[in-house]
Chains A and B, each alone.
Chain A
Amino acid sequence: MLQILCLFIPIIAAFFMPFFFKKIRNVHTGWFVLLVPLFLVIYYTTFIPVISKGETIIEQLNWIPSLGISFVSYIDGLSLLFSLLISGIGALVVLYSIFYLNRKKEQLHNFYIYLLIFMSAMLGVVQSDNMITLYLFWELTSISSFLLIGYWFNRDKSRFGALKSMMITVAGGMLMLGGFVLLSLMGGTFSIRALIEQAPQLATNDLFIIALILILLGAFTKSAQFPFYIWLPDAMEAPTPVSAYLHSATMVKAGIYLVARFTPVFALSEAWIWLVAGIGLLTLFWGSFFALKQTDLKGILAFSTVSQLGLIMSLLGVSAIAYHVDGAEDTVFKYAAFAAIFHLINHATFKGSLFMIAGIVDHETGTRDIRKLGGLMSLMPVSFTVALIGSFSMAGLPPFNGFLSKEMFLTAMLSVTEFDLFNFSTWAPLFPIVAWIASVFTFIYSFYFVFKTFTGKLNVDQLPTKPHEAPIGMLISPVILAGLVVTIFFIPNIVTDTFVKPAVVAIQPFLYTSPNDVNIHVSAWHGPTPELFMTIGIVIVGLLLFLTLSKWQKLYSILPERFTLNRLYDITINELLGSWMTRFSKLYMTGSIRKYLGYMFTAIPLIVIGTLIVKNAFSVTFEGSSPIHLYAVILIVVLVIGTLTTVFARSRITSIIALGSVGYTVSLFFVIFNAPDLALTQLVIETISVALFLMAFYHLPKFSKVEERTRFKFGRAFISIAVGVMVTLVALSSHSQKFIESISNYYKETVYTEAGGGNIVNVILVDYRGFDTLFEIAVLAIAGISIFAMIKLRLSRKEKNYESK
């Protein structure tokens, strides 16, 4: 039970934060929050021995059993690694935020509530085995991320960034839900483990490819892959602890997690390999290329994150190749999944520390603009050291962990050239080339980040505050992370045996059965292999380009802002969805009731006559018609004349009297059609109606003399003719095709024996169908009361306005 409970511990803790914030004012609320991730780290550490043996632990809490939806905490190598990252970096970030956020100036309880919700959501994402709860937690990360980005909600940019990230990630999440539903339809279960077992059968299903694309869209939007990365740079408006936590180490890796988790399901598909590897590589290149255009420290890091996520994604794509190669455990393809997980750990360490350093620089100098910064090395030696370690690791230099994973990345990319299925022989050479170019840019922006900030000239006048070294508390977290960066380089195999290998087993369960089968040994010196020469090339070319950076960085301004993806997003949101849609709506929603009536009376005949034609339902027969009555013909003439007078009368009195004549004619019709009660009622009602009309007549205005526009006149005539034709056609057809006998014979036969009456119509009204009469009485009563109320109740406009305020 504890295992499931752990998913919810942060959310439960969040409930208490306002209390701590409001009641215990002299202790920073963050200290209470810190206990939560610390506890989780310790708890999840206890799983390591079990998991590294290759076993898995599962615990389930039913939520909606009848639909097969339950909260599941499934811990295997992959989810344990992520859980530890989430809780571990969470602890460090909370510690950092204690010194970053001011206890007196900030609304801390809000911040920590959002952060704790996010922590729960993220743990839920990585541990859920049930796809529906996975989706639930997935959206919860989107929402909490939205809240965190918009934390300083009085800034325009924060709100814009929050909205943008929400729109993109939620759109992706929705598509992903569609993919999940399709998968569950195909496999008959929401459980991912059960789906993995059915993977070969699933691959033959027609819906398979659609589910694949939908789920990938979810993963790509969350993990900021091309072209959905645009929300990530704007999310940098969040407080720096948030950027460090969500937008480098955890949330953006949810998409990576999803891809890794679903690799066993989808890897059999060719499209999966091409999409994941291709988009990943494109993102890698794109992000690293545009990182150099940025002038904001966090902007550089954001693009760097995008690029590194692309790297991991492309490795996961390549790892799917192993499913198509016989004896893959002995080939070079085995490196891809391993490298992906290894780099994921490394990236979380160095990027987390770099973000914290960017936050420190911002905090201590008042700006993040790299053009104003410089020469901070002597003032902030600790920060500089940490930044240097992080950047060198990011650039892939020894002796830092980035070097190891970068080498493996190059190995994996080179291995693609040996793969010849699915036309890979044609395009595969591009993979290592693009990877190499992207690595060169990575190298340059890593240097750009650290050296433009910490070396060069110091311009104290340009800085908003006088720079000095950060407080020790703020430095603890980045120093720990930087320490990890170095440590992992020296003891890579302990880390990989503990974390990476069990995770690789989870990604490639068909290849390996236990972590011990993964026969990869990481070593810093791996001989004079092609990868090594590629790295040397990266360093030489990267250094050359970095030293000449000022000469060619202007090239970036050539590309006008109009052609960027951000512009595309703005157009879509503001113009397409905003003004264009409004304009489109205003086109037909004119506010004029005549227009609306026109739409309706056009649609009804169109549909009815269309149906008559399509179904070939029209028919006329004179059979069964009663003979034509002479009186009736006379009445028809009178009725037509009366109606025409009503329509074309110039004065309202003529119109009203003509309407009265139509009513009396109708009652005469009732007389010759043998309906005495109707005739009676119609006569009385018509008399009262005409009287009413005449009473209102005095108060109503004269018919306006304003002529209609001719176009509308014709349209109006056409519409009314269409309606008339429709009614006639329907009446003729229904008269000509009677399929069942009337039930009235029952009334005729039993009216006296059952009901004791002689007037059949009246007996029907009050006996057989008395309910109708009851409610028609109610209608009259309501009409009477409302008329009374309308005349009596006269709130003037002013009073009404006053009340509505």
Chain B
Amino acid sequence: MEIIMAFVCGFLFMAAIYLILSRSLLRIIIGTGLLSHGAHLLIITMGGFGGNNPPVLADGVTEYVDPLPQALILTAIVISFGVTAFFLVLAYRSYQELKTDDMTQMKGSEDHE
């Protein structure tokens, strides 16, 4: 299972980078969304899928899933959500101000060298 998930993570990263390198700002944000999904899946995969029970104490269960990666991912999800939300509003505002979402046109002016 872990081996397959490693390929899935790689695939998600690939798609994310492909989007991040595009011209449209919205595509870039979607790309970062995919990137965070890939990273989260990577963390849980690296923790291993051994143990058959969720990490909640229950009678007669000894084999829990590793809880630490889950705690880390939970933190990461919230943070990436915050950043995505911020980034999205930033894109919205910059489109309002600059009238473009084309990254090739968003260059610093020549005077600021």
Mark A residues whose CB is within 8 Å of B.
Answer: 590-594, 597-598, 601, 620, 622, 624-629, 632-633, 636, 639-640, 643-644, 646-647, 652, 655-656, 659, 662-663, 666, 669-670, 673-678, 681-682, 685, 688-689, 692-693, 696, 699-701, 703-704, 706, 708, 716-717, 719-721, 723-729, 731-732, 734-735, 742-744, 747-748, 751-752, 758-761, 764-765, 769, 772-773, 776, 779-780, 782-784, 786-787, 790-791, 797
Contacts and interface: CB of A to CB of B under 8 A. Distances in A.
A669 B22 CA distance: 28
Q: Which of B10, B19, B21, B26 has the most CB of A within 10 A?
A: B21
Given A622-B3, A734-B46, A748-B64, 8 more contacts: A692-B85, A716-B21, A721-B14, A735-B45, A760-B55, A765-B75, A780-B79, A787-B86
Given A628-B1, A790-B90, A719 B17 contact: yes
B47 to A, nearest CB: 8
A636 B8 contact: yes
Interface string B1-36: 111111111111111111111111111011001100
B96 to A, nearest CB: 7
B40 A666 contact: yes
A728 B108 contact: no
B26 A643 contact: no
A720 B21 contact: yes
Contacts of A727: 6, 9-10, 13-14, 38, 42
Nearest to B90: A790
Contact of A735 (B18, B46, B71, B82): B46
A633 B51 CA distance: 19
B11 A626 contact: no
Contact of B70 (A636, A675, A689, A743): A675
Nearest to A715: B21
Contacts of B91: 696, 700
Contact of A742 (B6, B18, B66, B85): B66
Q: Which of A639, A699, A724 has the most CB of B within 10 A?
A: A724
B23 A624 contact: no
A700 B26 contact: yes
Given A622-B3, A790-B89, A708 B23 contact: yes
Contact of B10 (A647, A655, A696, A725): A725
Contacts of A751: 57
Contacts, number: 266
Q: What are the 8 A-B residue pairs with the smallest beta carbon separation, nearest first?
A: A724-B14, A728-B10, A783-B82, A731-B6, A720-B18, A720-B17, A760-B67, A758-B57
Interface residues of B, number: 86
Nearest to A591: B107
A594 B79 contact: no
Contact of B74 (A590, A647, A681, A700): A681
A588 to B, nearest CB: 14
B53 to A, nearest CB: 6
Nearest to A793: B93
Nearest to A796: B97
Contacts of B84: 689, 692
Interface of B: 1-27, 29-30, 33-34, 37-38, 40-42, 44-57, 64-68, 70-71, 73-75, 77-79, 81-86, 88-93, 95-97, 100-104, 106-108
Given A646-B15, A696-B88, A727-B13, A639 B8 contact: yes
A782 B86 CA distance: 9
Contacts of A669: 41, 44
A770 to B, nearest CB: 11
Q: Which of B46, B75, B85 has the most CB of A within 10 A?
A: B85
Contacts of A678: 44, 70, 73-74, 77
Contact of B17 (A592, A601, A782): A601
A782 to B, nearest CB: 8
B1 A632 contact: yes
A708 B44 CA distance: 36
Contacts of B6: 727-728, 731-732, 735
A677 B24 CA distance: 34
A591 B103 CA distance: 10
Contact of B15 (A597, A632, A644, A761): A644
Contacts of B50: 624, 626
Contacts of A729: 10
A761 B67 contact: yes
Contact of B56 (A592, A692, A725, A760): A760
A748 B67 contact: yes
A625 B79 CA distance: 30
Q: Which of B16, B46, B55, B79 has the most CB of A within 10 A?
A: B55
B9 A699 contact: no
A620 B41 contact: no
A655 B30 contact: yes
